[in-house]
Amino acid sequence: MQQIIVQKYGGSSIKDTTRIKNTANRIKSYQNQGYQVVVVVSAMGKTTDTLLSLAKEISTTPSKRELDVLLSTGEQISIALLSMALNEIEIDTISLTGSQCGIKTNSVHSNARIENIDSERILTELNKNVVIVAGFQGINEKGDITTLGRGGSDTSAVALAAALKAEKCEIYTDVDGIYSADPRIIPNAKKLDTISYDEMLEMAKLGAQVLHPRSVELAKNYQVKLEVKSSLNNNPGTKIIGEIDMEKIQIRGITSENSIARISITRVPDKPGIAYKLFKTLSDNSVSIDMILQNLTHENVNDISFTTPVEELNKVSPIVKDFAKNIGAEDVIIKDNVSKISLIGTGILGHGEIASMFFETLSDLKINIEMISTSETKISCIIDKSHSLIATKKLHEIFFES
């Protein structure tokens, strides 16, 4: 039986017709190697952003259902054009939208989750065709179009690879793989040959933009062999793998996220149930929360701080101010210009010297740390946004260049 390969081409790999033709040639070469090829594509170049701004010109609060109808058209353009390009070089193809190839999701428009994939159609088509699938989209119970969240076509690809039991899943982009830091900011960033699922998940969640975090989660759960590589050359990419030597300290990367806000509620009465009420209210309003910190500052009162994406501030601040008033807290302090700098790797926490080097670097730069959080695979600090670049550069130098 022929092996199935799933390849996902991001917007940069198909940003114009020249790149679409190049991509078609690459796909052909995999078919020549004997693979049955399933291709998942994103929208061309910045199409999704363009569609979004069109919507915003009409409404500041467009219906999420209609946004999904709109944004899903980007990928539909790509599948048709890529399919035509393959036909031009004598490859038989069929293009399929998310709904045509049975990608069933829940009904959370603009951030839907895949519930299952009915792979029958694809498997049948694969016997005679390269199958080209529109990424980022699916269909809900009612038959309405849904989308999976920005960057979601990675998740479409990995989900398909899992459902089709593909030999591997390749994610094509315009850089050679996963780097120790964003190569656009840190020119000395090093390409990683391998990285574990857990490390990659941290990198993706903490701002490395190459992979949609949910795609990494899926790859880990279904043990999908994943590789990130460039569609502009034939260099080997980065393989995302399962096994990793837990005893060894592996430092993989530095990330920075710069659109974060910190919210502090000061002098909150110190009694049971307060944190519960606050975070229950926030979660009832679907606010996404990241780091949480509570510290005992004075007798019987605490300060509670948390971070949230800047875009959530309009929604969050009235909720928090209301809450603070109701429980008799002193004040709400909102800082909309903080950054989260993280060091990612394995075995970091077990070895105190990594944390101490991290803090020493910030201290040498006289950068104040506003919040800290750690896990088995990361150390993150919240600092003032104005220091983000210098901190990232220096940390990269200390951990990767010396």
In the complex, which residues of this chain contact ligand ASP (CB under 6 A)? Answer: 10-11, 42-43, 48, 74, 135-136, 150-153
Enumerate helices (H) and strands (E) in the chain, giving the number of each: 11, 18
Site of tokens 């917007």: 11
Smallest distance from Mg ion to CB 10, Å: 5
Q: Which does 345 bind (CB under 5 to 8 A by kind): Mg ion, ligand ASP, none?
A: none
Q: How far is the CB of 152 from ligand ASP (least distance, A)?
A: 5
CB 305 within 8 A of CB 266: no
- 150 touches which of Mg ion, ligand ASP, none (CB within 5 to 8 A by kind)? ligand ASP
Instruction: Decide whether 112 or 265 has the Cβ nearer to ligand ASP.
Output: 112
**Contact positions with Mg ion (CB under 5 A) in 4-23:** 10
What burial letters (b/e) apply to 73-111, b meaning 16+ CB within 10 Å?
Answer: bbbbebbebbbebbeeeebebbbbbbbbbbbbbeeebbb
In the complex with ligand ASP, which residue's Cβ is closer, 28 or 46? 46
Rounded least distance, CB 77 to ligand ASP, Å: 11
Task: Measure the CA–CA gap between 64 and 148, rounded to whole angstroms.
Answer: 12
- Interaction of residue 138 with Mg ion, rule CB under 5 A: no
Cα angle 46-252-185, degrees, rounded to a multiple of 5: 45
Kind plus residue range of the DSSP H or E element containing 194: strand 194-196
- The span from the CA of 335 to the CA of 66, in Å, is 33
85 versus 148: smaller Cβ distance to ligand ASP: 148
- CA pair distance 223, 21, nearest whole angstrom: 32
DSSP-assigned states of every residue in 269-318: E--TTHHHHHHHHHHHTT-----EEEEEEETTEEEEEEEEEGGGHHHHHH
Least distance from C-beta 42 to ligand ASP, angstroms? 3
Q: Which does 72 bind (CB under 5 to 8 A by kind): Mg ion, ligand ASP, none?
A: none
CB-wise, 10 or 237, nearer to ligand ASP?
10
Judged by beta carbon, residue 16 or residue 92, the one nearer Mg ion is: 16
99 binds, among Mg ion, ligand ASP, none (CB under 5 to 8 A by kind): none
- Residue 136's binding partner among ligand ASP, Mg ion, none (Cβ under 5 to 8 angstroms by kind) is ligand ASP
Nearer to ligand ASP by Cβ, of 161 and 282: the residue is 161
Instruction: Compute the least distance from the CB of residue 135 to ligand ASP, in Å.
Output: 6
256 binds, among ligand ASP, Mg ion, none (CB under 5 to 8 A by kind): none
Phi, psi (deg, nearest 5) at residue 96: -135, 135
Residue environment code for 230-242, b if the CB has 16+ CB neighbours within 10 A, otherwise e: bbeeeeebbbbbe
Rounded CA separation 290/263 (Å)? 11
Bridge partners (DSSP) listed for residue 195: 240
Where do the H-state alpha helices sit in 119-181?
120-126, 153-163
**Rounded Cα distance, 311 and 337, in Å:** 12
Pick one of 98, 151, 207, 253: the residue that binds Mg ion (CB under 5 A): 151
151 versus 207: smaller Cβ distance to Mg ion: 151
State the nearest-atom distance from the C-beta of 155 to ligand ASP, in Å.
Answer: 8
137 vs 264 by CB, closer to Mg ion? 137
Residue 273 CB, shortest distance to Mg ion, in Å, is 41
Angstrom distance (rounded) from CA 126 to CA 4: 9
Nearest distance, CB of residue 89 and ligand ASP, angstroms? 25
**Residue 253 touches which of ligand ASP, Mg ion, none (Cβ within 5-8 Å per kind):** none
Residue nearest to Mg ion (CB): 151
Nearer to ligand ASP, 74 or 213 (CB): 74
Minimum CB separation of residue 277 from ligand ASP in Å reads 35
What is the closest distance, in whole angstroms, from the C-beta atom of residue 75 to ligand ASP in the complex? 6
d(CA 285, CA 279): 10
Stretch that binds Mg ion, among 146-154, 319-327, 357-365, 370-378 (CB under 5 A): 146-154
**Which residues share a beta bridge with 71?**
none
Which residues of the chain form contacts with Mg ion (CB under 5 A)? 10, 151
